[in-house]
Amino acid sequence: MPKIITEDMIEQAAIKALEESQGYDVLRCYTEDPETLPDNTGRANKKQVVLPAILFESLCNINPDIPQETIRAECEKLCHTPVSGDLMLTNYYNYQKIRNGITVEYQQDERKTSNILKLINFDEPEKNSFHVASQMWIKGETHWRRPDLILFVNGLPLVFIELKNSNIPVKNAYDINLQNYLKDIPYLFDYNQICVLSNGMETRLGSFGTDYIYFFEWLKIESEKENPNRKQIRENCISLEYFINGLCKKDILLDYIENFILYDRRRTKIIAKNHQFFGVNNAYNAFLNREQLQGKLGVFWHTQGSGKSYSMVMLARKIKHKCTGNFTFLVVTDRNDLDTQIYKNFLRTEFITDKDKVQPANSKQLREELKTNKPILFTLIHKFRYDKGKKYPVLSTRDDIVVIVDEAHRTQYKDLAENMRNGLPNAQYLAFTGTPLLGNKRLTNSWFGDYVSEYNFAESIKDNATVPLYYVKRVPEVELQNDFLDSDFADILEEENLTEAEQRRLENHYAKELEVIKRDDRLDAIAQHIVYHFPRRGFRGKGMVISVDKFTTVKMYDKVSFYWKEEIKKLNKQISQTSNEDEKLRLKDIVDYMRKVEMAVVISEDADEEKKFAAEGLSIKPHRERMNRVDENGFDIEDNFKDPDNPLQLVFVCAMWLTGFDAPSVSTLYLDKPMKGHTLMQTIARANRVYGNKQCGLIIDYLDVFKYLKRALADYAASDSDDVPVKDIAKLLSQLNESIEMTCKFCFAHGVDLKAVVDENDVFRNLSLFEDYANTIVGNDDVKNEFSVLANTVDNLYESLRPDIFKMDFNPIFKEAILYLKGIIDGKIRPEKIESAHAKINELLDQSVITSADARKYTINESGKELDLSKIDVDELREQFKKLRNKNLAISDLRELIEEKLKKMLRRNVTRTQFAERFRNIIDEYNAGGSRNDDFYEKLLELMEQLFKEEQRHIKEELTEEELEIFDLLCKEHLTQEEEKKVKLAAKELYNTLLSKKKDLFVVGWQNDPQPKERVKSEIVTVLNTFLPESYDREVFLHKSSIVFNHIVDQAMTGYNWVA
């Protein structure tokens, strides 16, 4: 374990690096009293997040042709702190100003002149001002907040940095600090482009609006070919140094902000990861060097799931924005679903609009469009077809057409590709692929040039850009020769819509193989396995069943549906017969899940398909109706499957959705189709997306396809090591065992001997040991947090292995002990949020463990905590505490009680933050060693007494709780008794007025609509203007009116009942 590096040490090192290595000016802004001004920032008030003097001076320097009075007027607008609104939308509009400047008008030579006011000079980075501000107080409506570091460019706060001690998980900075800042001072993020969270050992970047799982590291500084030593970085706590040296260089940071930030439908902010930044810039540099490369810009190989299609948008956007010219981008794919997906990405990120006609309907229209100078076109390679025997005509000799070919494999070396090149002889060609090109496909190098960027499967797993994949071989016991996989059998099967000639060839030459694969008894065995496996998985992500052809796909759907119903009947019978309550819960959980699951077939449409399927004894009509159905919200089957909460959980496919399809919640693939090379890699990547608590993707192999996988991975995915990134599930079991061993060692180092628990046969002695061990762990927050991380890892790995682990050689006894101890601690401290309902009732001991001779079952009796403080006898608690042996557990109980009470009290009145701050200070003092257990407990009891008094204050003030909150928001210092009465009256009148007019004022969604918001604001101002005392001058009146209005908007945003 590395020595603890404090937050202050990390902060000072970061400031030094930014100042000395990168040339930033330092603003040390801390003041003991948050209200104190000046604070070295030049702000007029502490709600401001823009630095006005620096902003004005910087904009004058980079816009010398624009009058200073015009610049000053715009600066005032930029410095204005807006009222609550849609933060992401505000951020989007501010980003447009940062990137594109602001159009201003002014008088010059007695004429009205318009010009672009640049907020940043992206072309000359050194002409901008760069500052790092430390410990800058920012005033919220009800809280003061003080971010550790903020990076300003020209006075605009573009980078937020939150730091933690090296022994505190980085996720804490996201869960607690970042969320508090977003809630209390959201306007800090109006201009924010990057959020950085670091504890020295680990530094992660992301957008303020994204989930923590999408935050990423920045460990490559100069080149994508670097191989940073992650272990060494963690041990030396220098991850933040990598970020500073890599992304905080002035030119690099400005390049990133200008060209590597996208907004998907203005609702989701996408910022480039380390590999995307290098890859896109490599491709961009190749474009700048296009004359020398003679149109062969290269091959852009980034593994599936790593954001390749967004990289495509970033590249096109950078060329369009930075290069002078009238460029046309031609995006070429070989599948309809790929074409649609890429088109949607360009549309949603506003490279194009839905009014732009950019998808030619046929070959003739494509040829006509290519003779024009449209900015972008999307097409299938098949639209380059031309009459046989005729040479394809030259459509354009322009050299400013950029052809981007996605998944450039075999179609790129046939007549269609030659037609494209004959038609566009001087175009610039760039290939994007998720898999490198092998064997005869290395022709790509002669068509497109060398690799311009490489980011393989193994690297993406290291970077957490994708999750690791594991496979299980479940080949039914029927005779099956796999030699055909080395032939072109798998190549033919890649195509879902076979030509008649290909269909005949397939049936004639591979009759034996097809007969074996499609045998009814074999398919029955597979269907039964899917029905058993799918609902018993630990992580219940979505699944895909992949079959050899369309008929088998529908047949598998029918078989799984039949056995699914049979399994439910069988489980219901077991539930009625068992007397074990835990077993009943486990079985009922499976049945409940199975009843909610919907399934569907997804295959492409074929001419006369109803007749063809009927000839096979199958019906396609209900499946086609489901595939074409659009629900009342306008969502189709693809939207349903991509939505993790939609009951459509399992789909049956043969070729559709195997490439260019991104559904992150997919975690399991049932593979029953011969595949190799490119297609195999594309298919298994459907399960490698990062999502929620998903630890890995799992591929169930019914054809022994994976005996060929290592051969493919040598080229497609492996790094320089021999560590194959798709592994047998036995490797996951090894990880679980290692994780259990690591947890046991950690516990032993802190006086918790789990072996003693396992060896102890006396049940009461055993329970006493667990109680003692829980007391030891909760005695220190850092130890408790680290134990929680280790135990969660054990739990997640175990869940990822279910149900396959039941057939493995695994002794669960130490896993049980770890999770039981965790259960006691969680029960004593606070229950963790559980992502899915099944986890709540999932026993610590599985069915397999119950039947094990070595197993020992533990149960947790967790009683609800009493939250009525008035019924708690504080003196009795003091006396009981003196007699207790395990005092840490009693402290934990009291901490939880206070924490839960504080949450509820703060929800009822946001001005009670001083109690939360007092609570945090007491805990911090204890963790720092400043309090003994007895003193700590006494301080908690004193705080609890204060909370009781606060809870009763509304009665004393003769106000309802809602009126008291408004009263507290309206109060100011030095009120006379008479003035205080008037403020109370104003609070009462305002609450009752708004309540009486609720139907008219608080219409559905009013908080997001400017007109209803204005009506609410006007009502507030009218009432307060009538009842507030005269000592509330105009400035105070407007300030208090704004506070109350913003608070009510915030309450509506969170769905608070009386204003929502």
Query: What is the pLDDT, as a whole number, of residue 856?
Result: 35
Q: Do residues 145 and 138 touch, judged by C-beta distance below 8 A? A: yes
Residue 1060 has pLDDT above 70, yes or no: no
Contact 152, 131 (CB under 8 A): yes
CA distance 984 to 989: 9
Contact present, 28 and 134 (Cβ < 8 Å): yes
Q: What tokens appear for 1052 in the block?
A: 């509506």
Over residues 828-835, the mean pLDDT reads 32
Give the least confident one: 501-510, 572-581, 915-924, 979-988.
501-510
Rounded mean pLDDT, 453-480: 77
**Where would I find the H helices in 260-352?**
274-288, 290-293, 308-322, 336-348
Going by the DSSP 8-state scheme, the letter that residue 708 receives in this structure is G
Contact 728, 735 (CB under 8 A): no
SS3 901: helix
Residue 735 has pLDDT above 80, yes or no: yes
Per CATH, the number for 272-455 is 3.40.50.300
Least confident of 600-604, 888-892, 916-920: 888-892
Please enumerate in sequence order all residues whose Cβ is within 8 A of that of 195, keeping only pairs 6 or more positions apart, or say none: 159, 160, 162, 178, 205, 206, 207, 208, 215
Quick check: 161 and 151 in contact, CB under 8 A? yes
Distance between terminal CA atoms of the chain? 49
Answer whether 838's CB lies under 8 Å from 593's CB.
yes
For residue 118, what pLDDT is reported?
Answer: 98
CA dihedral over 306, 312, 318, 323, signed as positive or negative: positive
Give the integer Cα–Cα distance in Å for 378 and 332. 6
* CB contact at 8 A, 295 and 428: yes
Break the chain down into helix, strand, coil percent, rounded to 5: 55, 10, 35
Residue 131: name the closest of 110, 107, 150, 105 by CA.
Answer: 150
Q: Does the pLDDT at position 75 exceed 80?
A: yes
Confidence band for 863, pLDDT divided at 50, 70 and 90: very low
Q: What is the pLDDT of residue 530?
A: 96
**Closest by CA position to 842, among listed 533, 530, 534, 539:** 539
868 has pLDDT over 70: no
* pLDDT class of 86 with cuts at 50, 70, 90: confident
DSSP state of 119: S
Q: Which residue has the higher pLDDT, 348 or 935?
A: 348
- Please say whether the beta carbons of 671 and 552 come within 8 A: no
pLDDT at 821: 84
Contact (CB, 8 A) for 401 and 381: no
Residue 1: pLDDT over 50: no
Question: Could you give the CA distance from residue 90 to residue 87 in angstroms, rounded to a whole number?
Answer: 5
pLDDT at 764 (0 to 100): 44
Looking only at the bridges linking them, the beta strands covering 111-117 and 102-108 are antiparallel
pLDDT of 849 higher than 50? no
| Cβ–Cβ under 8 Å, residues 747 and 787 | yes
Distance CA 924, CA 928 (A): 6
User: What value does the mean pLDDT of the chain take?
Assistant: 83
- pLDDT at residue 300 in the model: 92
pLDDT of residue 223: 93
Q: 312-316, 324-328, 661-665, 912-916: lowest mean pLDDT where?
A: 912-916
Say which residue, 962 or 84, is predicted with more confidence.
Answer: 962
A 10 A CB-CB count for 489 gives 18
| Nearest Cα residue to 402 out of 373, 441, 362 | 373
DSSP 138-154: EE-SS-EE--SEEEEET
Tally the C-alpha atoms within 13 A of residue 452's C-alpha that lie toward its C-beta: 30
Confidence of residue 551 (pLDDT cuts 50, 70, 90): very high
- pLDDT tens digits, 393-407: 999 999 999 999 987
The total of other beta-carbon atoms located within 10 Å of residue 927's CB is 13
Amino acid 273: pLDDT: 96
Q: Is the pLDDT of residue 915 over 70?
A: yes
Q: Which residues pair with 197 in a beta bridge?
A: 162, 204
CATH number among 3.40.718.10, 3.30.70.260, 2.40.160.20, 3.40.50.300, domain 471-724: 3.40.50.300
Contact in structure between 594 and 567 (CB atoms under 8 Å) = yes
What are residue 743's phi and psi, to 5 degrees? -65, -40
pLDDT bracket for residue 352 (50, 70, 90):
very high
CA distance 967 to 980: 9
Q: What ranges in 189-269 are assigned the alpha helix state H?
A: 230-236, 239-247, 250-259
pLDDT > 70? residue 716 = no
The answer, yes or no, to whether residue 500 has pLDDT greater than 70, is no
Task: Return the bridge partners of 108, or none.
Answer: 111
Query: Which phi-psi region, left, alpha or beta, contains residue 657 (left: φ > 0; alpha: ψ -120 to 50)?
Result: left
Label residue 477 by pLDDT band (50, 70, 90): low
Average pLDDT over residues 89-105: 96
Tell me what pLDDT residue 476 has: 76
| Alpha helix positions (H), 101-249 | 170-172, 179-184, 230-236, 239-247
CA–CA distance, 663 with 652 (Å, rounded to integer)? 15
Residue 531 is predicted with a pLDDT of 97
Can you tell me the mean pLDDT for 1009-1033? Answer: 89
Give the separation between CA 60 and CA 921, rounded to whole angstroms: 45
Has residue 172 got a pLDDT over 90? no
Question: In the prediction, which pLDDT does 926 show?
Answer: 66
**Which range has highest mean pLDDT (46-50, 733-737, 811-815, 941-945)?**
46-50
Give me 596's structure tokens: 């909610």
CA atoms lying within 13 Å on the CB side of residue 266: 10
Q: What is the pTM of this model?
A: 0.69
Q: Residue 468 carries which side chain, given as an amino acid letter?
A: P
What band does 761 get if pLDDT is binned at 50, 70 and 90? Answer: low
For 637-695, the pLDDT digits (tens) are: 999 999 999 999 999 999 888 876 778 899 999 999 888 766 777 788 788 888 887 88
pLDDT tens figures, 16-26: 999 999 999 99
Q: Name the residue type at position 703.
A: L
Q: What percent of the chain has pLDDT over 90?
A: 46
CA atoms within 13 A on the CB side of 237: 23
Confidence class for position 932, pLDDT limits 50, 70, 90: low
Sequence-distant (≥ 6) Cβ neighbours of residue 48 within 8 angstroms: 79, 81
What pLDDT is recorded for position 74? 96
Q: How many helices (H) and strands (E) are present in the chain, helices listed first?
A: 44, 25
Mean pLDDT of 909-932: 71
Burial of 186 (0-12, 13-18, 19+ CB in 10 A): buried
Of 815, 761, 767, 813, nearest to 790 (Cα)? 815
Q: What is the DSSP string of 15-78?
A: HHHHHHTT-PEEEE---SSTT-S--SS--SSTT--S-HHHHHHHHHHH-TTS-HHHHHHHHHHH
- Ranges 117-131, 633-647, 927-941: which has the least confidence: 927-941
Residue with tokens 């950085």: 196
pLDDT of the residue at 370? 93
Instruction: Look at the block and give the residue holding tokens 């060494």.
Output: 232
Q: Which of 151-160, 372-381, 564-573, 920-929 has the lowest mean pLDDT?
A: 920-929
Report d(CA 389, CA 386) in Å as an integer: 9
For residue 818, the SS3 value is: helix
pLDDT of amino acid 16: 96
106-110, 140-144, 214-218: range with highest mean pLDDT: 214-218
Which pLDDT score, from 0 to 100, does residue 387 have? 85
Bridge partner residues of 270 (DSSP): 262
In this prediction, residue 266 carries a pLDDT of 93
Q: Which residue has the tokens 């980078």?
A: 159
Average pLDDT over residues 296-319: 92
* Residue 763 scores a pLDDT above 50: no
pLDDT of residue 1009: 76
**Alpha-carbon distances, residue 777 vs 732, 766, 774, 828 (angstroms):** 28, 17, 5, 12
